[in-house]
Amino acid sequence: MTARIGVVTFPGSLDDRDTQRAIRLAGAEPVALWHKDKNLHQVDAVVLPGGFSYGDYLRAGAISRFSPVMETVIEQAKSGLPVLGICNGFQVLTEAHLLPGAMLGNNHLHFICRDQKLRVENADTAWTSDYAPGQEIHIPLKNMDGRYVADEHTLDELEAEGRVVFRYLDLNPNGSLRDIAGITNAAGNVVGLMPHPEHAVEPLVGSGRTDGLPFFTSILKKLVNA
């Protein structure tokens, strides 16, 4: 049976179709989920895609966190449902308290769009098992509110528990504390990151690299072998 991975569309989502395409390329079935629908339609995993949900009013992700679909996502994520938040999706996950910390405006106060070098710090999550620990990859990055912050206790806890999943290399593009580009929850089923792996899945499209495809093959293997 083909694994079904839901992709939520909020008002202002930009990368939902790109994410669906990446899921399809990995060999799974993408399922479009609407933000007003609490029903996840029996998907095996969920991706919250990038964009500017609700125009990033109040704070990025602050309104989407209260969309009806998130009530179900939060409940099922706490029960083990794999959830990936990309850029705006990462912001939604912090607002929903599925991941600790918060996302603030870039320290240079400018929107940034670049091909970003990352180091894989944790290859044991549901979304990163097809990477190797310490592997260096290039993933497109585009954000205005990408600065990850948390108190020192939380940062120390993330480091000690191996929950920093990706770290920026060569350049910290937004002032994120400890160069953090992505984190996971303690169970490893919820991952959030600012760069966009869905834009690095085909050699002729986007960055010209396929460094982002392992996100989607990782979750497919986990679901198939579950």
Q: Is 198 a catalytic residue?
A: yes
Residues 6+ apart with CB under 8 A from 57: 63
Q: CA of 135: how far to CAs of 132, 166, 167, in Å?
A: 5, 10, 11
Which one from 35, 138, 196, 199 is the annotated catalytic residue? 196
Q: Is 196 a catalytic residue?
A: yes
Question: Are residues 188 and 125 in contact, defined by beta-carbon separation less than 8 angstroms?
Answer: yes
Strands 147-149 and 102-104, by their bridges, are antiparallel
Cα distance between residue 22 and residue 12, in whole Å: 20
Q: Is 113 a catalytic residue?
A: no
AA letter at 153: H
Which one from 87, 95, 121, 199 is the annotated catalytic residue? 87
Which one from 35, 95, 138, 198 is the annotated catalytic residue? 198
Question: Are residues 121 and 167 in contact, defined by beta-carbon separation less than 8 angstroms?
Answer: yes
Residues with a catalytic annotation lie at 87, 196, 198
